[in-house]
Amino acid sequence: MNSAGPANPGSDKAPVRVLVADDQAAVRDGLVTLLDLDPQITVVAEAADGKQALDAVAAADPDVALMDLHMPGMDGIEATAQITAHHPRTRVVVLTTYADDASIHGALQAGALGYLTKDSGREDIARAVIAAAAGQSVLDGEIQRRLVSAATAARPTPVPEAASPAPDNLTVREVEVLRLIAAGRSNAQIAAELYVSEATVKTHINHLFAKAGVRDRAQAVRYAYRNGLVG
């Protein structure tokens, strides 16, 4: 495990500081070794359960917590919720063997910014950690397809807004954009899905962020789940 030190040579940007939380020592050691191979990442703490993860976040202040879900004592979902509530600067990326709906929705509702399965490759895991540190939501390809399918299935036939008012006076189109953000879509993908320009998508995002009182996509995802706008 690297100690928190200066940025890698030739770069002015400090490496992303990561906590690895997994109850299996062999898996945890493997992840630490894997992440330390990337000069853009440094592992600053490890944890074997959710309570240890919460304590390590408080002590080490990592940029990202790479979190297993099913651990003894405090599980990864509860730890994610506690980190999100008390240490919001630390982004949580779930890395687990479980891809069932309850685990996915539980983690995202708790505030996880990313969700990967343990069959993800080294580059995918490193990319997710770096993206999360920048506030970007990263989802495993299969997870993203399932969420997009759920969001699409949940999208009702357009009806007058008065018949089913959205929270904070969001328009139908703003809700559509929010659902696609929650499904992990980029601005370009949302534009293609809705047959509008990226500039129009950015305008919708600015409006819905202002109405919902959120600052970034991570908060928008939590807002969407909290208000039942995605299943």
Per-residue model confidence as pLDDT tens digits over 129-167: 999 999 888 887 777 666 655 555 544 444 444 445 789
**Could you give the CA distance from residue 231 to residue 161 in angstroms, rounded to a whole number?**
20
**What is the reported pLDDT for 67?**
96
Q: For residues 40 and 75, what is the distance between their CA atoms, to the nearest angstrom?
A: 28
Tokens of 133: 């540190």
Model confidence at 5, pLDDT cuts 50, 70, 90, reads: very low
Return phi, psi of residue 138, to 5°: -130, 125
In the sheet that holds 114-117, the strands lie side by side as 41-47, 16-21, 64-67, 91-96, 114-117, 138-139
pLDDT of residue 157: 44
Could you report the per-residue pLDDT of 45-63, keeping only the tens digit for each?
A: 999 999 999 999 999 999 9
State the pLDDT at residue 150: 55
Higher local confidence (pLDDT), 40 or 2: 40
Distance CA 90, CA 156 (A): 35
Q: pLDDT tens-digit profile of 112-122?
A: 988 998 888 88
Give the 3-state secondary structure of the chain. Answer: CCCCCCCCCCCCCCCEEEEEECCCHHHHHHHHHHHHCCCCEEEEEEECCHHHHHHHHHHHCCCEEEECCCCCCCCHHHHHHHHHHHCCCCEEEEEECCCCHHHHHHHHHHCCCEEEECCCCHHHHHHHHHHHHCCCCEECHHHHHHHHHHHHHHCCCCCCHHHCCCHHHCCHHHHHHHHHHHCCCCHHHHHHHHCCCHHHHHHHHHHHHHHHCCCCHHHHHHHHHHCCCCC
- Cα–Cα distances in Å, from 188 out to 128, 136, 214? 19, 14, 21
Q: Are 161 and 172 in contact (CB under 8 A)?
A: yes
Segment among 67-81, 172-186, 187-201 with least mean pLDDT: 187-201
Q: Is-above-0.75 flag for pTM?
A: no
CA angle 50, 143, 48 (to 5 degrees): 15
**The pLDDT of residue 108:** 85
